Structure 1
């Protein structure tokens, strides 16, 4: 024990003089490979006690984050236990700390091993995020009594994530979840044209029923919940609007309608340049989830649990309903993906256009978003 403490003290004493911490990281990886997860946690706990002190340097935070990541993505019940020790002692690192930690843990460990978070030291926020990270991965929570008991307790209904179902919807089955390793992570960018039935775009304004815009500030916020982080934390631009038609709008007339509604994202677009495709609700949800969970050009998004919430909030607003009936209503609606080579879209990597027509054909909601680095 004395040798361990001496080793840790020596590491801490040398940290401020390092120009990079790769050597410390390599040592931690080696100790973990040898089965000594407790050493990483012990080192991290000493670091955690100093992270908010005036003398703490960037090396402290870098090594601490690395230790958490190593424990969180390396499978093993003992690694979970030690990761939880570290996370319980860490200063609150903004709203993103528990969200990222839950995503890392859910990606790297067996659900049964993660049950330790619902008995030992862990914040309720980490637990709430873990619940929905597991749901997104198709885990049957009822098979893990400790997690199920926590998730179905009355207290959880008052949490922001408590409004979400505890089983995965068929619309969520193809959610693009990130992949993590000790070195970093990766995620999909499922934007751009959707591989669905292409609709012909013609200017038939005279045949279209009259439309009235019914957008309100509240609707704009609700429609854009999935991409709000693009605008708030990056360079994103969002257009979210709703239109009511005097008589039902035929599905085949949606492309023409999009050109006549005065959308900023389609200004001066010629019919031949507009691409509109029908798409399954699951494809639309996948785009909304990716936008919310992974973020735009300069941010990392809300991660899985809160990304799930934001995606359903946008889907519900697009489908003209509320969260409790969002899945059924979204499935009944007609969904479309669209894009066009206009100056509004940055056309780099983070661009999409979605439109939703209600089953009666009387309401068309539009959400377009773009971001740039």
Structure 2
């Protein structure tokens, strides 16, 4: 792994996941004193963080993990402890006969139809910018780039505060491609969920990949999940991790699904809507993939 002939970012990410899943943190301190790439070390730090290890207090690892130069690495934006939003991430299990991991998304066996009332939907203006759409889709980008998936990421400004109970009506009125045909023939299901639920969906999508991708593994999967959450929540570019977490907590998060032609309805389907504080901004991310 440490030899120049086989060095590479993808290998470093995979190796870090393997090492963190199969060894105690104390045994892995050798990677931070011997011949190992900075990329492997950075990935290994956050693979351990995801497994609940206090890397800042682990001899042999703490010095590297807390050094100022670490912040210049892309993963340096991430804190060295898990937040409540992240909770206990679902991580893969490795064995001699293969790998297994959970898939927290996909069509529900018996989705509850949303209550579509007569509440007035305020006038809406789409404000999606390319940079924002790309950032929102970070966690699911691999579904489209390396597999058969497609993504819809859009942002809407509302003329007046939107009542949480009117979100289903509003989703149907936005002209979303993913919900084209939703209604009587393809009932819409919408539910309010804690931000931790949204994070888990995005982390799984980014870290484990889609039908034909292996994802970015734990460290970069963690970063991608937060990048998508930040954009969905409307955080300014360059916001610090604690600022993003505070904003994410203040949003109202919804998951939605409908048996439309857009969703593949196989095993990889995500529908997320984030209602920002003040209820005047609604961000929607939908993704689907198939084998």
TM range, normalised to the smaller chain?
A: over 0.9
- Residue 127 of structure 2 is matched in structure 1 by 214
Conserved 8 A contact 1:226-1:292? yes
Moved more, 325-334 or 307-316: 325-334
Moved more, 225-234 or 317-326: 317-326
- Residue 359 of structure 1 is matched in structure 2 by 277
Conserved 8 A contact 1:199-1:278? no
Distance 2:212 2:105 in 1: 17
- Note the C-alpha offset of 1:331: 1.2
- Note the C-alpha offset of 1:204: 3.6
* Aligned pairs (5 A) from 1:337-356: 337-356=255-274
- Residue 88 of structure 2 is matched in structure 1 by 174
Judged with a 3 Å threshold, the aligned counterparts in structure 2 of structure 1 residues 93 and 230 are, in CA distance, closer, same or farther, namely: farther
* Structure whose CA Rg is larger: 1
- Considering only aligned residues, what root-mean-square deviation do their CA atoms show, in Å? 1.8
- Residue 126 of structure 1 is matched in structure 2 by 40
Residue 106 (1) aligns with residue 24 (2): no
- Residue 286 of structure 2 is matched in structure 1 by 368
- Residue 164 of structure 1 is matched in structure 2 by 78
Residue 335 (1) aligns with residue 248 (2): no
Higher relative contact order (CA 8 A, sep 6+): 2
Residue 240 (1) aligns with residue 240 (2): no
- Residue 285 of structure 1 is matched in structure 2 by 199
Gaps of 5+ in 1: 1-86
Is the partner of 2:260 in helix, strand or coil?
coil
- Note the C-alpha offset of 1:359: 1.8
How many equivalent residue pairs? Answer: 285
* Aligned pairs (5 A) from 1:1-373: 87-89=1-3, 91-92=5-6, 94-192=8-106, 200-202=114-116, 204=118, 207-270=120-183, 273-321=187-235, 322-324=239-241, 325-373=243-291
* Higher helix proportion (structure 1 or 2): 1
Is the partner of 1:254 in helix, strand or coil?
helix
- Note the C-alpha offset of 1:140: 0.8
1:60-102 deviation digits (Å, cap 9, x = unpaired): xxxxxxxxxxxxxxxxxxxxxxxxxxx1125246431000000
Judged with a 3 Å threshold, the aligned counterparts in structure 2 of structure 1 residues 320 and 345 are, in CA distance, closer, same or farther, namely: same
Distance 2:263 2:41 in 1: 38
TM-score, normalised by the number of residues in structure 2: 0.94
Conserved 8 A contact 2:9-2:39? no
1:187-237 deviation digits (Å, cap 9, x = unpaired): 111003689x968332647x1111110001001100000001111111110
Distance 1:175 1:194 in 2: 21
1:244-295 deviation digits (Å, cap 9, x = unpaired): 1011000000000000000000002115700001111111100000000000
- Note the C-alpha offset of 1:121: 1.1
1:126-164 deviation digits (Å, cap 9, x = unpaired): 000000001111111122132111011111111000011
Is the partner of 2:205 in helix, strand or coil?
helix
Is the partner of 1:146 in helix, strand or coil?
coil
- Residue 82 of structure 1 is matched in structure 2 by none
